[in-house]
Amino acid sequence: MRDCFKELLENYKHLDYLPKFQLPDGRPSLTGIDGSKIAPYVLMTVRDPLCGYNDDSAKEIASLMDDAKEVARTGMFVTYTGMYKGAEISVVSGGSGAPEAELVLNEFMIHSNARTFIRVGGSGSWSEKVHPGDVVISSGAVRDEGMTSSYVVKQYPALANYEVLSALISAASENGHKFHVGITRSGDSEYCGWGKPSFGGYIQKENLEIIDYYHRAGVLNTDRETSAIFTLTTLFGMRGGSICSVGDAVVNKEGFKAGGGHESAIRIALEAVVKLKRMDDWKKEKGLEYWVPEVK
């Protein structure tokens, strides 16, 4: 713990009585992970039927890896760990939204040596350039959800780690699937907060401007988790990334396509981890803190 936090917590009267949420053997209750079975690289997924999954999302992604085994299961999260082209990877599935992402990030960061977290999910397009079936790699995110405000002021940026971003772009280029790189807007609401009328047609005037506002600002797509991953990994000195398939394109008046492009998003994420491992091995060999892109 850094000294600045020790000073803040020194006289905090509630500290010793906050719930620990740990199992008797010390494993965290919500994810149930044994840290020794978690890989350095973690793919974070949502059990999202809109992505076209037929089974648990972690299980389906793990089926593409070698020797993948279920290493944790609770009522909220399922985790697998396996190998993919020499890289050890864990993949965890859970519910949707920034609060669920917060739980995974904290328990994995505290109870394991995982230090790289990549979201693999679905999204909707708010850009005329992005169509159903495309893939979006997020370089940054609009923090329009509520969870990250509990950690830091809204002016704090939500940015992808440059190494993860580079690996995702490289993997996507080799994959050949149509992809875009840019800003994602992360929100909480699936209805009014996304400009969609709720029960009985309920909507407010300010909700009607949301899509056009971010369209004019050049936002490519919208989801619920990317800003959480970017903000927390940056705050805690770790690496975050996000790649999302696109199911619909409201601005283009293109209808919903379940699972469009999602298999490619998964493949790109796995290949990106392989590239990240090579980067990390290179840094270790050279004794460097940062990977240096080759300039030609």
Query: ∠152-155-161 over CA atoms, to 5°?
Result: 80
User: Above 90 in pLDDT, residue 21?
Assistant: no
Over residues 76-88, the pLDDT tens digits come to 999 999 999 999 9
**In this structure, which amino acid lies at residue 133?**
G
pLDDT on residue 117: 99
pTM of the predicted model as reported, rounded to 2 decimal places: 0.97
> Do the beta carbons of residue 242 and residue 137 sit within 8 Å?
yes
Confidence of residue 295 (pLDDT cuts 50, 70, 90): low
d(CA 48, CA 19) in angstroms, rounded, equals 30
Domain boundaries, the chain: 3-285
Strand partners, 144: 187
Where does the chain have alpha helices with state H? 3-9, 57-62, 98-111, 162-175, 210-216, 226-235, 262-286
Q: Which residues, 6 or more positions from 153, have their beta carbon under 8 angstroms from its beta carbon?
A: none
Specify the CATH architecture of the domain 3-285. 3-Layer(aba) Sandwich (3.40)
Pairing of strands 179-187, 135-144: parallel
- Residue where the block lists tokens 């609401």: 189
Say if CB 80 and CB 58 are below 8 A apart. Answer: yes
**DSSP structural state of residue 222:** E
